[in-house]
Amino acid sequence: MQKFFSLAVLLLIGMAAHAQKQVSATSPDGQTKVTVTVSDRIYYDVESHGEQLFQQCHIGLTLRDRTLGEKPVLKGKKVTTVRETVTPIHPLKASQVENNYTLLTLTFGGNYKVEWRVYDDGVAYRFVTALKGDIEVMSEDGTWQLSKPGKLVLQQPGGFKTSCEENYSVVASNEWKAEDRMSELPILVMGERQKVLISEFDLFDYAGVFLKSTGEGTNAFSIVQPKCPTEYEDQGDRSHKILKEADYVAKTAGTRSFPWRYMYITQSDTQLPVNAMPVRLAPANAIGPTDWIKVGQTCWDWLNGIPFGPDVTFKSGINLETYKYFIDFAARNGVGYILIDEGWAKNTRDPFVTNPEVHLPEIIAYGKSKGVGVILWLPWLTVEHHMDLFQKFEEWGIKGTKIDFMDRQDQWMVNFYERVAKEAAKHHIFVDFHGAFHPSGLDYKYPNVLTYEGVRGMEYNGSCKPDNSVWLPFLRNAVGPMDYTPGSMLNYQPEVHHGNRPICAGVGTKVFNLAIFVLAESNLQMLMDNPCRYDQWPDCRDFLTSVPVNWDETRVLAAEAGQYCVTAKRKGDRWFIGGITNSQERDLQLKLDFLLAGKQFAMTSFADGVNADIIAMDYIRKESKVGSTTTLPVHMARNGGWCAVIQ
């Protein structure tokens, strides 16, 4: 009997060992490794540069009739190496991006696969299904288990309805409770040696992801998603009231690839702002030729739309004379567009009847004669009810639209974004999404989508503080274009800030507000202030209007996440440098060894003045000669900055 029992135990151990399979893939440089364990579910570990970052993370898709990843049967594995160079249509960081990775494809019984890409600086995975007909995804299991406690940088809304404009919060991973607020993407995991930026990409016909703690002390968090709305009614002119939701998060095609879940891994804070994962994971362009899409800067009337001064002899407001004034300024300064916000239409619900005071046809014609295009603001609900407006806008000569207040990322709303992008592209209209969630691939499939808000930007006036904005290069802007609406000429330190529409002001020094114009990446960059104020500071105006929106090369010269960031960007043979700090003053030594050796360059720089810590308007402009051996001493006042152009 004892012998029989021993044999049975050995048999069970052997069966368990046979049932649990491990497969590994290593990055091209051998420093990053993913180990996938197939047992009762699909688990994975991530190791980078000799440190285990995640352990026993698990993934799965629960469908109406089965769960992919539950008792999985591994049918096959394939490992390949990919080396290619990607040329982005709109290069926010670099005109060429290396896309080198190890591809691990695991095929499971039940007609699905999981694809893993292992990069030198990151890991991404996604499900790929080959199922008949449509499927209903009830929930997705995506759980990240940290190997050791760390700090998490989160953006925590009060619910699924959110414009994604909350301030960042820093939470210890072992103190984040299950009952605490969830977080939007991206999030930043800050370990002692390494940092990991977590986000999603290639999001189509599916619900966006939020992350929620699995419980205090677990050091783990997992995916939660909004259910798909099935009944709704208009709530005012810019929102839906959801009356009924399905019990699933998505009903979609059974044969498809699902969104990437990616982890960008770095050992240096200077690498976070140059995250290249979105370019590497991007879907292909779906709209054909893109030469009609012109990126650039735009004037904007919402925050500071009342010109005044000796050259203003008309009654300012939402009228023809005011917008001609904006167009004249744009034309004089090489700005490609003006954006006319709410008020151009007689009624926000009807995009075809314009405000008679605006004389929109005359504004469009006047802008065309000056080489300045017109962009029009719209609430998303008006677009939904009048999807034929893009054809009309093309007939009118409108170049782009700013679409606002979506404030959701359920499957229905994700699909709305794509329907808009597709229809706008048919009529050569570009799009700026406000009240939007983070970029997740739509702007690559539809390059006429130029930028997104989803950020606490300058619209917030006094509550848009450098202590929060300094996180943006490391999180929100690291994952895609960001409409921060920078460029304020009226500047205050936070404790004395005042001013609201129509005279809005920026928090932080004047040079902070110049420098963030270099740092904030957007294919459509706003000049948030009034032309008359820019003309009061012509040296600042000339610097701002000279800053490109697309770049050939980006180098972060000095950075500490959430503290300060100094970045150099090259367009052609010119370099722009922008540096910002939080409420702590900084003294840095910047090496210019990225410049061509043996040559002298002219540098125009802007620095905080000696009293900028009190009077935020105080600044110093300087012209000097520099070269590749130059080391620049840079001082930034509290909530301050430093910027320069080198040519």
481 Cβ contact partners less than 8 Å away, ≥ 6 residues apart: 90, 92, 439, 443, 450, 451, 452, 521, 522, 523, 524
On the question of a cis peptide bond just before residue 502, with omega within 30 degrees of 0, the verdict is yes
* Contact predicate 331/337, CB 8 Å: no
Query: Which residue type sits at 62?
Result: T
C-alpha to C-alpha distance for 421 and 449, rounded to whole angstroms: 6
Phi then psi for residue 339, to 5 deg, are: -110, 120
Closest CA to 170 of 519, 474, 479: 474
Burial of 290 (0-12, 13-18, 19+ CB in 10 A): middle
Closest CA to 275 of 515, 521, 498, 495: 521
Structure tokens, 555 = 């180098």
C-alpha to C-alpha distance for 470 and 347, rounded to whole angstroms: 38
Phi then psi for residue 267, to 5 deg, are: -100, -5
Which of 165, 200, 453, 459 is catalytic? The answer is 459
C-alpha to C-alpha distance for 186 and 360, rounded to whole angstroms: 39
Which of 141, 341, 404, 521 is catalytic? The answer is 404
* Contact predicate 73/266, CB 8 Å: no
CA distances from 39 to 20, 56, 59 (A): 5, 11, 12
**Chain center to CA of 439:** 5
Please confirm, yes or no, whether 432 is among the known catalytic residues: no
Please confirm, yes or no, whether 404 is among the known catalytic residues: yes
Q: What is the DSSP letter of 471?
A: T
Quick one: three-class SS letters along 93-126? Answer: CCCCEEEEEEEEEEEECCCEEEEEEEECCEEEEE
Quick one: three-class SS letters along 486-519? Answer: CCCCCEECHHHCCCCCCCCCEECCHHHHHHHHHH
Q: At what angle do helices 411-426 and 389-396 cross, to 10 degrees?
A: 30
* Contact predicate 460/502, CB 8 Å: no
* Contact predicate 466/516, CB 8 Å: no
Which residues are part of the catalytic machinery?
Answer: 404, 459
